Amino acid sequence: MTRAFVALALAGLTAATVAPAQRFGYSEPIQPNASYDGRFTFVRLRYGPPVQFASQRIPWSHDYPTGERHFMQILNEVSYLRPHLEASNVMALDDPALTRYPIAYMAEPGFLTLTDSEVQGFRGYLLKGGFVIFDDFAENRGGWGPFEAEMGRVIPGGRWIELDGSHPIFHAFFEIPSPHDFLPPYNRGYKPVFFGLFEDNDQSKRLLAIANFNNDISEYWEYSSTGFAPIDETNEAYKFGVNYIIYGLTH
């Protein structure tokens, strides 16, 4: 369950992945959402109008769909969740069906801009029990300020609290005693920080969202079958993802 588990799980992948330099600026068709059947489904949140193709020019679509497909392979190997392996969902923040899914993911939230309808829908999702993972943003990609301001519209008065290794989310499945040092930041030169948004700003209550700032764990997922990053680092990125899912489903 350390060095080998990523390699073993990815041995059965059939989706081809090319080197990052070849994929820069690529366009990937947005696939139809999985039909709801109660199984765990990876949900990627979009903001703004729907699009036909994912690309590096559309922030919320970064690493789609390879990142989530690889991650679901790992989750399937280490748990009994039986997630959808190939199909995933791209959903709007104000989609009423979003409440069917307890966990959602958003890439590049530093560029988040919300309509009033998205603000209301997203607030309802979080307050009804939804848990969100924010990933793939940094000081040089959108920044913290714009993200915090937009989320302030969603949860007025909400305060982001820096998390350390003592929080249960880092021990939900794998042990991650020192998250700041566990995984080198994908954006070298920036210190990774993990922030949590809690119900009523009370750390004894439910964690509504976690933000991987100055980091990009899904980039490791996307390129895990290419050798682009060392296996050890890729393993650590998967451990964060698995912990987030297990924690979100049990809290």
In this predicted structure, the answer to whether residue 14 has a pLDDT above a threshold of 80 is no
pLDDT given for residue 187 in this prediction = 58
Query: Is the per-residue pLDDT at 4 higher than 60?
Result: no
**Spatial separation of the C-alpha atoms in residues 100 and 112, rounded to whole Å:** 23
Query: Where residue 194 sits, what CATH number does that domain have?
Result: 3.40.50.12140
Give mean pLDDT, residues 114-122: 98
Domain contains 7: no
Up-side HSE of residue 83: CA atoms within 13 Å toward CB? 27
Q: Is residue 16 in some structural domain?
A: no
The pLDDT score that the predictor gives to residue 114 is 97
Residue 33: inside a domain? no
- Whether 73 is in a domain gets the answer yes
Give a yes or no: residue 83 inside a domain. yes
- On whether residue 18 sits in a domain, the answer given is no
R_g of the chain computed on alpha carbons = 17
Q: What is the mean pLDDT of residues 116-125?
A: 98
Residue 26 lies in a domain: no
Question: Does the residue 37 lie in any domain?
Answer: no
Number of domains in the chain: 1
Instruction: Give the domain extent around 103.
Output: 56-250
The whole-number pLDDT of residue 185 equals: 60
Between 41 and 183, whose confidence is greater?
41
Q: Is the pLDDT of residue 27 over 90?
A: no
> What pLDDT, on the 0 to 100 scale, is given for residue 8?
45
Q: What's the gap between Cα 181 and its chain centre?
A: 19
Give CA–CA dist 239/170, Å, rounded. 9
The reported pTM is 0.90
**Residue written as token pair 């700003």:** 201
Mean pLDDT of the residues in the chain: 89
Q: Does the pLDDT of residue 170 top 80, yes or no?
A: yes
